[in-house]
Copies of this chain bind each other. A is one copy, B any other.
Amino acid sequence: MVEKLIKPNLSAHELTLATRVIAGEVNAAARAISLIENGSAKVKELISELYPYTGKASIIGITGVPGSGKSTLVDRLTTVIRSAGHSVGILAIDPTSPFSGGAILGDRIRMSSHWNDQGVFIRSMATRGHLGGVALATGDSTLVLDAMGKETIVIETVGVGQDEVEIVDTADIYVLTLLPDAGDSIQALKAGIMEIADIFIVNKSDLPGADSTVESVQAMLDLQEYLPEAWRPPVLKVEAMNNQGVDTLWETINKFITCCPELLVKRRRTRVENRLRHIFASELTAEFEDAFSGKKLALLVDAVAARKTDPYTAVAEVLKKNPEHQSFQS
């Protein structure tokens, strides 16, 4: 196995990191995710090394409206998954503050009940960058957890926007948490994420309005034309804080994974396709940054800002004239 990893252009240091991740070392996995988080140039080689050892984990994506108790839900769900004998990797995605450059809430306050469990690896990740960067970093970090041998991976994301739709590309099954409040479900629907959920959770369902929220989600599902034939998304009432309904959630997740192999295969193919697209864009954006650093970029911005040219024409000329792009030819 180790021999398989050796490549002439790989330094001893990265070799060690990749093999250590595959051996399940927590420190190595943490360092690998840090490299991904920081957009290190070493990530490509690392993922290339890890990739043959991936594809075994089940990946659960959990998102929801702010305040819907996702962290508590993930904590309780982890307990249930551990009882079922699976090792668990948890990735909590926090969008980066553009100024502070880090996630506000970190591992410290998360999941305190699993600190001493060797079968649980928890990492919160600050994501940065645009243009699919969040999805790409999430996907790469998931591969790290997969390669280190975690059987079930839980990705928790904040919010219900386009980013989260992209993060869905990373998961096999997608759980949306709502609150007992009709308004929330409408907001989620606006964000276009509702149609992607495989399982709906009405969390904190001891609060008033839980039943009417369940009903309005069901009504919305009735209206959908594109539900997969094999699976109508169930709507589950859960009280994560009181450990109510979390077992049922885990059963439902397993039911989905066993019920719909074609759906899962199709989803994983789409995931690969999107990953290729993101990597392609990120590579070419890097070319742009290289070609247009400093003065060259400033001159172009001046010309567009002064309305001497327009942005589309400017970029078209860059693509035609810039000798840097000769590197794309065979």
Binding site for B on A (CB under 8 A): 44, 47-48, 51-52, 54-55, 65-67, 94-100, 103-105, 127, 130-132, 134-135, 158-166, 183-184, 186-187, 189-192, 194-196, 224-226, 268-269, 272-273, 275-281, 283-285, 288, 292, 297, 300-301, 304-305, 307, 310-316, 318-323, 325-326, 328-330
Contacts and interface: CB of A to CB of B under 8 A. Distances in A.
B288 A277 contact: yes
A226 B97 CA distance: 12
Contacts of A300: 276
A316 B283 CA distance: 9
B301 A190 contact: no
Given A196-B98, A226-B99, A301-B276, A48 B105 contact: no
Given A183-B67, A268-B305, A304-B272, A312 B279 contact: yes
A140 to B, nearest CB: 9
B190 A104 contact: yes
A95 B131 contact: no
Contact of A307 (B51, B104, B225): B51
Nearest to A67: B183
A36 to B, nearest CB: 12
B285 A192 contact: no
30 contacts: A44-B312, A44-B316, A48-B312, A48-B313, A52-B307, A65-B66, A66-B187, A97-B194, A98-B165, A103-B190, A127-B162, A130-B132, A130-B166, A131-B278, A158-B190, A158-B191, A159-B159, A272-B304, A273-B297, A276-B292, A277-B285, A280-B284, A280-B319, A281-B284, A281-B288, A283-B316, A283-B319, A284-B319, A323-B329, A325-B328
B281 A281 contact: yes
Contacts of A226: 99
Contacts of A225: 99
Contact of A190 (B105, B130, B292): B105
Contact of A51 (B99, B277, B310): B310
A313 B96 CA distance: 28
A55 B305 CA distance: 8
Nearest to A268: B305
B326 A95 contact: no
A35 B104 CA distance: 40
A195 B301 contact: no
A280 B288 contact: yes
Contacts of A99: 195, 224-226
B54 A195 contact: no
Contact of A285 (B159, B281, B316): B281
A183 B105 CA distance: 13
